[in-house]
Amino acid sequence: MTVASVEMRRSPVPKETTLRARRRREAGLAYLILLPALAVFGTFTFYPFFRNFKLMLYETPPVPGLPAHYVGLHQIIPTVTSTQFTQSLVTTIVFVALVVPISLILGLALAVAAHRKLKGIAIYRMIFSSTVVSSVAVASVVFGTLLNPVVGLLPWLGINPTPPALENTTWALPAVAVITIWQFLGLSFIIMSAGLQSVPDELLEAARIDGAGAWTRFWRMTVPLLSPTIFFAVIVSTIYAFQSFGAVDILIGNQSAVRLHTNVLIYNIVNTLQVENNPGAAAIMATVLFLITLSLTVLQMRFLERRVHYA
């Protein structure tokens, strides 16, 4: 077959049509590959997300068994201005303000301490990061025991607040925050360690030769060069802290006298849904939490990205 005859056979098909058909085929294949992921996300993320907006529009009577009725947007204002919700919001903000900076500073300090070429340093790295694999239930039981007024570590150290820390209106929230900080520490350490690996040794060596001491090198070189990592860690841990639930549920519970002092948003939402049987109010609170997290993330990105130095 000659070249000319091949050209003759090809020429009736317009090039544009062939390209369009190929693109359509490729798009079809792409959607097919995406389908399993879309099914999982659709079922467990997108459907609940949109269903939540629907729930906001219905009020459930306090008596069990009666059907929910449509109230539109009327229950939003009363819910978000209720004392229960505003107190819960303040408690959550205090909780986040305790957990995020402390866990990040400690994580950074441990990462810096472990970022050296020493024999056996890998063991320390493993210990420092180990909290990331312990479940909130295990962490809560361990800390519950340590804070126990009879067999715990605190009374053994001579610290014995009355009433005990987890039943004390002043100490209950900080105690829960300590557990959460301990849990976050592993993740914070891992993120900061990964960030430190990306800081070129040559920069620190150049600064050392240029006359910078260890403290100056840390503040003037390491921290600015680590700012993308710190920025990421602040966002992730703030979102996680806003969603804390396990430690409060296990250590405090909804029967405790200090419940209102540790009533973080997620815990309040779960209680409103399950104990008070009020899905509408719970959906409104969940939406507020979503908006807070979203706006906080946007704010942090806008504010921090101006100060972030990308190497």
Partner 1 sequence: MAQVSFEGVTKRFGDTVAVDALNLEIPDGELLVLLGSSGCGKTTALRLLAGLEEVSEGTIAIGGRVVNDVDPKDRDVAMVFQSYALYPHLSVARNIEFPLRQRGMAKDVRAAKVKEAATTLGLDTLLNRKPSQLSGGQRQRVALARAIVREPQVFLMDEPLSNLDAALRVQTRADIVALQDRLSTTTLYVTHDQVEAMTMGDRIAVMSQGILQQVATPEDLYAHPANTFVAGFLGSPGMNLLPGTVTQGSGGEALVEVAGGVVPFPSTLRASSLGDAGAVILGVRPESLSLDPDGPLHADVTIVELLGAETHVICRTPDGSRLIVRQSARAAKPAPNDQVRIAVDPDPAAMHLFDATTTQRLTAP
CB of 119 to partner 1, least distance (A): 11
Return the number of the residue (20 or 220) whose C-beta is nearest partner 1: 220
Interface residue with partner 1, options 102, 207, 236, 304 (CB under 8 A): 207
Residue 272 CB neighbour total at 10 angstroms: 23
CB of 211 to partner 1, least distance (A): 3
DSSP 77: H
Question: CA-based angle 47:52:54, to the nearest 5?
Answer: 100
206 binds partner 1 (CB under 8 A): yes
Return the number of the residue (15 or 306) whose C-beta is nearest partner 1: 306
CB-CB contact of 110 with 185 (8 Å) = yes
298 binds partner 1 (CB under 8 A): no
226 binds partner 1 (CB under 8 A): no
Burial of 298 (0-12, 13-18, 19+ CB in 10 A): exposed
216 binds partner 1 (CB under 8 A): yes
Interface residue with partner 1, options 72, 78, 101, 200 (CB under 8 A): 200
304 binds partner 1 (CB under 8 A): no
211 binds partner 1 (CB under 8 A): yes
Return the number of the residue (54 or 309) whose C-beta is nearest partner 1: 309
Whether the upstream peptide bond of residue 67 has omega within 30° of 0, thus cis, is no
In the structure encoding, which two tokens stand for residue 289, read together?
Answer: 């939490």
Show the DSSP H helices in 149-278 as ranges.
153-156, 172-197, 201-209, 214-216, 223-242, 246-251, 265-274
Interface residue with partner 1, options 80, 212, 236, 260 (CB under 8 A): 212
Interface residue with partner 1, options 6, 109, 294, 311 (CB under 8 A): 311
CB-CB contact of 96 with 244 (8 Å) = no
Burial of 146 (0-12, 13-18, 19+ CB in 10 A): middle
Please give the span between the terminal C-alpha atoms of the chain, in angstroms, as a whole number: 59
196 binds partner 1 (CB under 8 A): no
Residue 253 to residue 233: CA distance in whole angstroms: 29
Candidates 137-145, 151-159, 171-179, 196-204: pick the segment binding partner 1 (CB under 8 A): 196-204
115 binds partner 1 (CB under 8 A): no
259 binds partner 1 (CB under 8 A): no
202 binds partner 1 (CB under 8 A): yes
Contacting residues toward partner 1, per CB under 8 A:
200, 202-203, 205-213, 216, 221, 224-225, 309-311
